[in-house]
A and B are shown apart, each in its own frame.
Chain A
Amino acid sequence: SAVISQKPSRDICQRGTSLTIQCQVDSQVTMMFWYRQQPGQSLTLIATANQGSEATYESGFVIDKFPISRPNLTFSTLTVSNMSPEDSSIYLCSVPVQGADGYTFGSGTRLTVV
């Protein structure tokens, strides 16, 4: 299955600033997914990032707050903009497993907004 390198692993940010999270995959994948996991909660899908087109956002998430880039088939970024303490979460990227059913996750970015 694909190996995903996600950076940064953690960060502490001031409110009002922005943080960009990167995911690099060791193989080409059509779809990449970005999730948020708030403290003590399960994963919530933020958006699906397809190469060459705009990301598709889930209800409750908007592009102005969570802009996504997908410049090629192995890389994507998620930016958390104008952060507030409510954005403190773990953010994870995920890709489908090639040739099998299942999804691989990046190691996650633990974001704390102060």
Chain B
Amino acid sequence: GQNIDQPTEMTATEGAIVQINCTYQTSGFNGLFWYQQHAGEAPTFLSYNVLDGLEEKGRFSSFLSRSKGYSYLLLKELQMKDSASYLCAVRGQGYSTLTFGKGTMLLVSP
């Protein structure tokens, strides 16, 4: 089975940097995904890591350490519109389905 853990909520200030952590224990591993979900909307894809290291995409970066079962999403130059829930999801080995963490609600204040 899969067990995914991430903080319930975080707060940060506009213009700052925030790091959202995700730890996982899985019976197999075939990639880790980060999604952003605004209230009342569908999740939108942010990033994907399958190998160790950092993937950078504009203001967003995601890091993976497979040996530690650990990932983080780094958001730079925070904007008010970044206030949303951030979902960490793991794909198991040989499967196409995702298991989602409970999500981290990020509140960005002025």
Contacts and interface: CB of A to CB of B under 8 A. Distances in A.
Interface of A: 31, 33, 41-45, 48, 92, 96-97, 101-108, 110
Nearest to A31: B96
B84 interface: no
B45 A42 contact: no
B100 A42 contact: yes
State the majority secondary structure of interface residues on B.
loop
Interface of B: 31, 33, 40-45, 48, 50, 87, 89, 96-103
Given A33-B98, A104-B45, 15 more contacts: A42-B87, A42-B102, A43-B89, A43-B98, A44-B100, A45-B98, A92-B43, A97-B45, A101-B48, A101-B50, A102-B48, A103-B33, A103-B45, A107-B42, A108-B42
B75 to A, nearest CB: 19
State the majority secondary structure of interface residues on A.
strand
Given A42-B87, A48-B96, A102-B48, A107 B33 contact: no
Contacts of B31: 101
Contacts of B97: 33, 45, 48
Given A41-B102, A42-B101, A43-B87, A96 B96 contact: yes
Nearest to B30: A101
Given A43-B87, A48-B96, A92 B101 contact: no
Contacts of B33: 101-103
Nearest to B47: A102
A42 to B, nearest CB: 4
A110 B102 CA distance: 19
